[in-house]
Amino acid sequence: MADDASSLTFLSSLLIPLLVLLLASLSRRWLKSARKNPPPSPPSFPIIGHLHLIAKPPLHRALAAIAAARGHVVLLRLGSRPVLLVSSAPAAEECFTTHDLAFANRPRLLAAQILGYGCTTIAWSPYGPHWRNLRRISAVHLLSTGALRWSSDSRTGAVRSLAKALFLEGGDSGPAGPRRVEMKSRFFNLAYDVMMGVVATAIEGESADMRQRFREVVEETFAVSGAVNVADFFPALRRLGWRGHERKLASLQRRRDALIGELIERHRVRRRQSCRNREASAAAGKGDEGRSTVIDVMLSLQESEPETYTDVIIKGLIAALLTAGTDTSAVTMEWAMCLLLNHPEVLHAVRAELDAKIGQGRMAEEEDIPDLHYLNCIITETLRLYPAGPLLVPHESSQDCTVGGYDVPRGTMLLVNAWAIHRDPNSWDEPEEFKPERFQCEGGKEEAGLRMLPFGSGRRKCPGEGLAMRVIGLALATVIHCFEWEKLPGEEVDMTEGRGLTMPKAKPLEAMCTPRHTMLDALSQL
């Protein structure tokens, strides 16, 4: 009996402190959870959460409807993944200024892992030294003032080629007659030629074939990336054999990888040949004059640091630059022309500005674009109504923070609906109307602040804004200045949005194009 009593005493002395610690821990957790102030959230279903609310595309409109009903800061649960939906400029500003570092990471989505070479590209890499290095390379060798100045001739040549093709495609009516033209593919080819001129050295005779193959890959990339992938929200499904979307991504990636691999290998062969002939290398302007393409730069870095700059890293950077720099600019130019055709008074006004500041008979130059204030307002208004990225690339919080007074835990995916912010009646007068002059009154896009997010904001903002604005500005100035544009006889311009990350038009733009008599001499000399 004495032994039993001593055993009970020992157990009591051991259990009581453990129970006290357990109760204290539970109390702290309860108090902590009681202090939490989560964002409002719509009613959800078990297991799937709010996935049923985003089942109907386009995604940016579905999310805008949720925000209209629940507020500009909403917490969604998509399967097992918490998602913070932000749909106002003040909330976006808080995310990209006060909490910019906290939201600098990217979620590991399936498309990012497969198309992003294991999340190692500049778009999908986690925030850290590797991402900063890729950003530096892009900024110095592609997007710096010197690099943009060097690539100016490439952009001008691509735009002049577009104008020449439009001028000569007269058929039986001759070069000066009106003709029906499709502009979607032309704008894509222009953007592709500009980016390829910077990223890779042109190889005679292969451009048309590779351009078409790459266009198909880019369009499919944005289409499959914009689709909701259930496995991103239920990771266990992949372990159970759910592979439908993954197979599509893998098939696409094999073709993307093969295309980029061809480019890199041809440059590698060319570099070997150049090494055998220093005089030829100097004539090509490689290295000392800073005129190497991005692929040349990466191969040079690979020679000195092969463990850091592997073929996978090089492919990822090239794929990201070519993909991000082509479709986005092409889509913006196409939407701009659609808006101008639907608002002929704006088209006449911008043409008058071009005639006054450039003159009749001279082609637009890149140096003219900053002085074309109304044209720049048109571009900005197009980006407001039809941002090439209606939803910014997702972010993910790396630490707890507060947004709009609500608590946001670490590991929450952030979706910023730029399309909804750009059409928020709290920020814009007549937000659904196409009114370029609104930016003349406000002093331009810079004055709009985070009410305008076509290129994102903060650390992960798209670094290609300067290049994109140069391409779009020169292209639109040229086609408006050199040609008369009208809708197809008896038809309206279809403004229906298609599916995909970049919000393409559902129906490619077609219009009637006629060379202007005042520009015939300039066009005939192209």
What size, in residues, is the chain? 526
- CB–CB of 85/66 below 8 Å? yes
Pairwise CA distance, residues 369 & 520, whole Å? 22
Q: Nearest Cα to 187, choosing from 217, 220, 221, 211?
A: 211
Q: Is 50 helix (H, G, I), strand (E, B) or coil?
A: coil
The answer to whether the annotation marks 95 as part of a ligand binding site is no
DSSP 173-235: G-TTS-EEEE-HHHHHHHHHHHHHHHHS---TT-HHHHHHHHHHHHHHHHHHHHS--GGGT-T
Pairwise CA distance, residues 514 & 500, whole Å? 32
- CB–CB of 175/153 below 8 Å? no
- CB–CB of 374/349 below 8 Å? yes
Long-range Cβ pairs for the range 286-291 (8 Å, 24+): 290/146, 290/147, 290/150, 291/150
Cβ burial 493-506 (10 Å sphere, 16+ → b, else e) = beeebbebbbbbbe
Q: Is 43 helix (H, G, I), strand (E, B) or coil?
A: coil
- CB–CB of 344/354 below 8 Å? no
- CB–CB of 80/233 below 8 Å? yes
Q: Nearest Cα to 63, choosing from 419, 361, 465?
A: 419
Pairwise CA distance, residues 343 & 421, whole Å? 23
Residues 6+ apart with CB under 8 A from 267: 200, 201, 293, 295, 296, 299
Strand 179-182 and strand 395-396: pairing? unpaired
- CB–CB of 511/488 below 8 Å? yes
Give the bridge partners for 32, in sequence order: none
Q: Nearest Cα to 345, choosing from 378, 312, 390?
A: 378
Pairwise CA distance, residues 437 & 461, whole Å? 26
Tell me the binding residues for heme. Answer: 462
Tell me the binding residues. Answer: 462
